[in-house]
Chain A
Amino acid sequence: AVLNDGLRSQVSAALKEGQITPTELCQRCLALIKSTKFLNAYITVAEESALKQAEESEERYRRGQPLGILDGVPIAVKDNFNTAGIETTCASNMLKGYISPYNATVVQKLLDQGAVLLGKTNLDEFAMGSGSTDGVFGPVRNPWSYSKQYKEKSVPKSHSEDEESNWVITGGSSGGSAAAVSSFTCFAALGSDTGGSTRNPAAHCGVVGLKPTYGLISRHGLIPLVNSMDVPGILTRCVDDAAILLGSLAGHDPKDSTTVQDDFKPFELPNLTDVSKLSIGIPKEYNAPGLSSEIVALWLKAADLFKNAGAKVVEVSLPHTRYSIVCYHVLCTAEVASNMARFDGLEYGHRSDKKDSTESMYAATRREGFNDVVRGRILSGNYFLLKQNYEKYFVKAQKVRRLIANDFVEVFRSGVDILLTPTTLSDAAPYTEFIQEDNRTRSAQDDVLTQAANMAGLPAISVPTALSEKGLPVGLQFIGRSFQEKQLLTVAKWFEKQVQFPMIQLEEVKRHDSGVFQHQKSASFS
C-alpha cells in the first residue's frame, strides 16, 4: 500500500527496508502519471531525470546512506518554480520553452535531500486564478471527478457525455499540484500561495495544503505573483507529511532578504491527546455571503468536535475582513503590473516577430505572450500606480492591509490560539459551471476565505474534512500565529485524526496499487 502512505511511517521505512526501491517507486508514479494524463495535472514530466535521480537514490540506499526521509521520494513542483534543465512555463505562452539556468531554493533543497522530481504541475497562467482553468495548457481536472464516491452520488444523465460534462475543477492556482498528490502520482508537491492558491485546490482535491508564515521559506526562484504575499505552499496527503516537507524547506536563505534570520528547527508532530488548554477562535466574518449551507454545517460540526473534546471555542471578530477582497485586488494587480514588466521579449521568453519599432515589438510580445487575465491585471495595476491614483488606491490599500493584519494580532492577543474557518465557499464546481463567470469574479469569490492570511503573513492549513453531498472533498482551514507552525500543525493533525477523511477511490490507482483499497475507510465525519 506504499502509494498511499505517510512518508515517515511507511514510505521511508519501506525504502529503507528494501520493500520497494526508489526506481520502482519512481516508475510506479510515472506509470500512474501516464494513466491519469487526462487530469492534465502535469505540464512537463521529467521522466529521464527523475529515473536518474531515483537511481542515485537507490545507490545511496544500497550503501546504507540515504539522505533522510525524503530520499527517493517522488515529488512534483508547480510550474512557477525555476528548475534547472526542466522547462518552467508558468502555463503561459510568454515562457513556453523557457529553461531556467538555476533551481529555486526550495527545489534545490528537495533535490539535496534526495527527493525525485517527477515533473512540473499545471496552474493558472502565472498563478492568476482560482480554478487552474486559465493556463495555456488547458484546465486541470479534479481526480475526484473520476472517483467512485462522486460517480455514485452524481445523477447520471446520458452515459457518453456524462463524464465529459460533469468533471469538476481542482481549484487553484496550484490545481496541478493538488491533483498530482490527490491522484497518488506523487507523495508531495510544491504549490505557491498568494491568496489561497495552495489551500483552495487542496480543499477541493481532498489533500492537505499548508501555507507557511511569510518569510519562513525562501521565495528565491519562485516566479512571483505578489512578492509581499507569495509563499511556497506544501501539498501532501497528511499533516505529518506537511510537517516533514516544512522541515526540509524552511529557514533563512541569503538569496531572499525577506526570509527571517532565526534558525528553524524541523519538528515531529506530537499526538495531541488533550485539547482542553486550546482556545479555538471562530471568526464570524468568515460566514461569508455565498458560503454553502453544507460547509457551514461542517464548520459548526468541527467547532463542536473541539468543544466536546474540552477545548475552548469562542466566536471572534476580524472586522476588516470584508475589505480584504478589494484591498487584495489593488495590491495584487499593482505588484503584478510591476513584476510582469520584465517580460519584454528581449532577454528570454517569447518575442514577437513584429519589428516596426521597439515599442511595437514590446506591445506585440506582451499581447501574444499573456492571456487576458494577466493583461487585465497589468492594466489595472498600472492604473493604481499612476501618480494621481497612488495615494487613493495603493496607499489606502496598504493601510487597510495593516488593519486586516492588526485584526489577527488582536484576536491572538485575546488568548485565541488557532482560528478555524472554512477554506472554500462550497465544494468544487463542475468546469462547465465554473467558466460561466470570469476569472476576476471567480478569484474574488474564491479567495475570500483564504487571502486574509496572506495579507497578514500568517500560517494557515487546509485539512480535508469530509465529503459533500455530491461526494466531493471539503476542507476546513486553521490559521495560526506567525511562525507557530508547530502548534498549528499539531492541532491540524489532531483534527485530521478525528475526522477520518475517506480515501479517494480511483480506478487508475487501483490498477497500480491494489493494496490501497484493501482497508476501505468510510466517510465517518459527514
Chain B
Amino acid sequence: MVARGCGGVWRRAWQRGPGPGPGPDPSPRGQRAVVCNARGGAVPAGKSGLAPWIPVVGLEIHAQISSNSKLFSGSQVQFAAPPNSLVSFFDASLPGTLPVLNRRCVEAAVMTGLALNCSINKKSLFDRKHYFYADLPAGYQITQQRVPIAVNGSLSYSLCIDNKMSQIVTKTVRIKQIQLEQDSGKSLHDDTRSQTLVDLNRAGVGLMEVVMEPDMCCGEEAAAAVRELQLILQTLGSSQAVMAEGQLRVDANVSVHHPGEPYGVRTEVKNINSIRFLAKAVDYEIQRQIEELENGGTILNETRAFDSKLGCTVPMRDKEGKQDYRFMPEPNLPPLILYDAKSLPANMNHQQVINIDWIQERLPDLPSVKREKLVEQYGILPEHSFTLLNEDGLAEFFESVVKQTQMKPKKVIGWILNDLLSYLKQYSLTVKESPVSSFLLADLLNLLEKKEISSTAAKQVLAELWKGEGKTPLEIVKEQKLGLLQDQKELEQICQAVIDGQENE
C-alpha cells in the first residue's frame, strides 16, 4: 500500500533516523554518566553544589506475544515476511469486520501476570484508543485502558554495585498493570520520492503492555529490570522478547526532583532498541534534565527520541501536540471473563474458558528460582548463576557439561564463564552457535581432570577446538603432543637426553 505525498510527516519513533532537533554535543555528558545508585541514594548535586537530585524512572514495555496468529484475527504472525502478506480483512480494517479474541494471547498475558505476581482480573475490558496514523488502519487501537487483565504486581531484579560481580543487590519494581493491545503496522518513509509505504503485517499482532511504576533511579536499574523481564518472558514463552526484532519495546519516563519535593516534570524517551541503549538513554536524560534545571531552565512534558548514534535524546517533532485519545469501550468485544478453580462453572466447555489456577500450576521455573537451584545444586556463586541465565542456553550448556564430566561444577563454571563465554563474546556468537559442543568441552575437561593434560595445554586444545575442524580433544592432544607424561622411565629418558645435550656443548 502506498500513500503518496506524505513525506516527512508520518513519523514513528522507533523508525526514525538521526533526529531533526538541535542535537547537543553528547560527548561530555556521555562520559559523565550518572553515578549509579544501586544503593538507592540520590545523585550528587551538579555544578551548583546545591541540594542533590533524585532521578525517577518508570518504564512502559511493549512485549509482542508469541502466538501463531494475531490478537483479534486469524492472520499469521511472522517476522520479516513479505510486506502485506499477513493481512486479514480485519487487520486492514475493512468495513464490517469484527474482532475475535485469540485465546492464546489471553493465556500468555495471564501467565505473564502470574509470573510478575499480579492479581489477575477475572473481568477485564477492551477499549478503543483513537488517533490518525497511516499504519493504524482502523483509526483506533484496541487496548485495555479501564480494566486491564492484570494489576498490582512486582518484579525483583538484581544488579551489581560499581560493576563488581561480588556485590549483588536485589531490588523490586512494582508492576502497575499488564494490558492486552494491538500492535500497529509499519510505515516506511521514502523521503526522496516523498512517499510512505505501509506494511500491515504487524498490524493487529498481540502486545502485552507492562507498566512499571517509577521505582527505578538510573539507567542501570532500568536495564536490569528489563533484562529480568525479558528472561521471564522467554522462560514463559509468552514473548520471544528479542529487542532487535521489535518484540520488546521500552519507553522510559524520566524526571528528577530534590529530596522532599514532589516529582519533577517527566519526559518520555522512546526509540530505545537495546538494553544497553536503555541504560544510556536514561542516564543521558537524567543528566540532561539536571543540567537544564541547574541552568535555570525548565523541563517540558515531552516525548524524546534516543539517538543511538549520537548517544543523546532529542525532542520528537510529531508528538508535540497533546493528543486526546478519546477512549471509549470497544463495543464489539464482550468483557473478558476468566475463571479460577472456585468460580469455574461445572458445565462449561473447557475450550471456551480460561482457568487461572490451571495456568498457575503449569508455570515453569522462573529465572530467580532457576538461579537458586543452580547455586544450591552445584555450589556455584550467586553471581555466576546470573551470568549463566543471562546468556540464552548457557545454563543448559553448563548443566550438560557437568553431567558428562567428573570435574566439580565449581571448576566447570570457570571454564564456562571465563573461557567459553569470552570466546563466544569475542566472535559474537550465541551459545547455540558455539563450535565447541558441551560434549567436546566435557571431553576436554575430563582429560584435564584425569591429569592427562595440564590446564595450560587444555586452553591450547580449546583454542584448537574453537576452529571447529571436527577433531576430538584427544586427537588434538596427540597431534600436538600436549599430553602430560606419566611414565617415570620416559621422563627420565627425556631428562637424560637434555642433560646429555648440555654436556656435549
**Chain A positions near chain B (C-beta within 8 angstroms):** 81-82, 88, 90, 95, 100-102, 104, 219-224, 226-228, 254-258, 261, 334-335, 337-338, 340-344, 346-348, 355-359, 361-362, 382, 385-387, 390, 394
Contact = CB atoms under 8 A, between A and B. Distances in A.
15 contacts: A101-B89, A102-B89, A219-B98, A222-B96, A226-B331, A228-B331, A256-B98, A257-B333, A258-B332, A258-B334, A338-B139, A358-B134, A361-B5, A385-B327, A390-B326
Contacts of B128: 338
Given A82-B95, A361-B5, A390-B327, A346 B100 contact: no
Contacts of B4: 355
B1 A257 contact: no
A411 B5 CA distance: 59
Given A346-B137, A358-B6, A361-B6, A338 B132 contact: no
B97 interface: yes
Contacts of A355: 4-6
B322 to A, nearest CB: 10
Contacts of B89: 101-102
A385 B328 contact: yes
Contact of A387 (B6, B134, B140, B324): B324
B92 interface: yes
B328 A357 contact: no
Contacts of A386: 324, 326
A227 B332 contact: yes
A342 B137 contact: yes
A334 B101 CA distance: 23
A356 B101 CA distance: 38
B472 to A, nearest CB: 58
B98 A358 contact: no
Contacts of A334: 328
A102 B98 CA distance: 13
Contact of B93 (A219, A221, A347): A347
Contacts of A387: 324-327
Contacts of B97: 220-221
Interface residues on B, range: 35 or more
A394 B134 contact: no
B75 to A, nearest CB: 14
Given A341-B138, A357-B9, A387-B327, 5 more contacts: A95-B95, A334-B328, A344-B137, A358-B9, A390-B328
Contacts of A226: 331
Contacts of A390: 326-328
Contacts of B137: 342, 344, 346-347
A387 B93 CA distance: 25
B81 interface: no
Contacts of A228: 331
Contact of A335 (B3, B5, B92, B331): B331
B132 A346 contact: no
Contacts of A385: 130, 326-328
Nearest to A81: B96
Contact of A341 (B9, B130, B196, B198): B130
B129 to A, nearest CB: 10
Contacts of B485: none
B198 A346 contact: yes
Nearest to B100: A257
B435 interface: no
Interface string B134-153: 10011110000000000000
B215 to A, nearest CB: 27
B326 A257 contact: no
A358 B3 contact: yes
A382 B332 contact: no
B1 A221 contact: no
B264 interface: no
